[in-house]
Structure 1
């Protein structure tokens, strides 16, 4: 990642990272549903101004569907239509990549070419990338893996996985801040543990579907929801309950190699590949 900046522009925060003399230089700023391209650019260039080197490229992991150097679709409405040229300069070019695909670029280097594995980011919402037999499963438009939009019946209604188990849905149900929810979970307050149990349960059903559909050796799960006490325990317990025994036992559900930087590092690596195609 020589002189390449990695950016994870997420729904609640943006992490910028650069590697220098074997150490990471990081900066995190808040985002939110009303975040604008102008704000992102301002914060990114403030970060760049403090770096001890001149960047040669930048990769930016973004929430949504990317095509033709443009963010085509995103629930962050102000960012829709945002183009890479807006973040590029005379000295370096910026590149967009979907955030979960960036995470896959980061993580796939740790697995052999023939390893079948899925990578799921469980944050504000959910997204997935799958690699099997050395090939990434992309779909017709490169949009495969949108498991957060998968429908599930709950309380007589059909809701999406995002709307049941995603971080935004969980905080809406809790009616409090993330810090307050974490405190309540640490104190084993029933309202909090019930919300996390339900969220983990439906994510566990999603994990079961992934195992049955792709038969992966590994499922790597990152994102903020994994930090909620009891969430992954409930998810794994549910997946075990509803998955064919041999398939579940042959699949390891694990954390990413660098949970904090996975998207930013993958975006930087993507930009490095664009800069050096023979890489």
Structure 2
């Protein structure tokens, strides 16, 4: 890729964008960073970093996306996925076509998954029972620091009173052995592309995961949009869970009641609408990346 094929941002331009990005990230994750520094934990928010493994420091670094060069950005020298170009007697840093080539299979998988998920109707009848299935008939509770809202027997009764309709393998794989057979169908990693659907809270939360897996090839603004969605989805996920989170300021969505299930479906539907738009944008970015003739870029 030559400098003439890159849209170069002047140093004043990109530093202003990076500063705006940093402010937005700090508003979102500042409290988390402060808690971690003091050694405390949070059963709702910590998941977004501990499970997904994308750290706040990584989220804070701004990336313009593939095909955009940053003038004078020497702090990007040696950063994963970047390379250095000489253009018009200046040095610019931009996402490396070689890195795009190496990530092509991942981009293709993500595009296939997003496209398949978007092609299906949203299913809104799971009522967030995946979290209940993860503690069904077991003493090995994932969030030991918070109690079960209905106690052990009450939690098991809720699971037994309704059908488990989970479609997301990465939730299903945490079901207890007694809960696995209660799901409407068995799920496997191999079936992921053919099973995920746009009403699923975790499939929508995962848009953040698919986004950061493509850093620095996609714009940070899109990753943050997906992260904000993941925060909202995680909150609903845990409010509808069997855990008593009153100490943390979360009002439960009582899915064991008809009114609670109706509340859950309304919130789930609203999140699905937000997710549909972001899924479309992320898919479009993936398709644009796949459309590049990497062999040509590497020889320029």
Q: TM-score range with shorter-chain normalisation? A: under 0.3
Looking at secondary structure, tell me which structure has more helix per residue: 2
- Report the structure number with the largest CA radius of gyration: 2
TM-score, length-normalised on structure 2?
A: 0.23
Task: Give the TM-score of the pair, scaled to structure 1.
Answer: 0.24
